[in-house]
Amino acid sequence: MAETDVTDAEAIADVPKSRIQELDRRFAAPRAIGFHLVDYVVHGWDVAASLGIRAAYDADLVRAAAEVARKEVPDGPSRERPGASFRPAVELAGAASAEDRLLAALGRDPRWSPEQPK
């Protein structure tokens, strides 16, 4: 094993004990990484949808992001504030994929496309 491999492995082992500064607060590293996971998945969908292409995420990634979102993204009036990261949940009719349910829970309409009138 190369010296850099050991260093990388040690850094990864220290992640659960680390804390990360996010704006004006410090969070346990796994929690902060989870925040970013949700952001990357949902905002990645935002970019793809705005370009008129489908964002197709691996089922395990969607499950992980949904688990973090359920635990960490508050529901309620804070989603109505200007600049809120996520809007109120969107109702879905009928059967929906796990990805669509995640997007809807975080205020995205999974059927949205740039061609739709606003």
The continuous run of DSSP H or E covering 92 comes out as none
Average pLDDT over residues 82-89: 89
Distance (Å, rounded) from C-alpha 89 to C-alpha 68?
16
pLDDT value of residue 41 = 95
* pTM, to two decimals: 0.74
Task: Give the chain's end-to-end CA distance (angstroms, integer).
Answer: 56
Residue 87: phi, psi to the nearest 5?
-85, 170
- Spatial contact of 88 and 107, defined as CB atoms under 8 Å apart: yes
Taken in order 79, 104, 60, 5, the sign of the CA dihedral is negative
User: Which band of pLDDT confidence, cut at 50, 70 and 90, is reported for residue 117?
Assistant: low
19 DSSP β-pair partners: 28
Span 45-62, pLDDT tens digits: 999 999 999 998 999 999
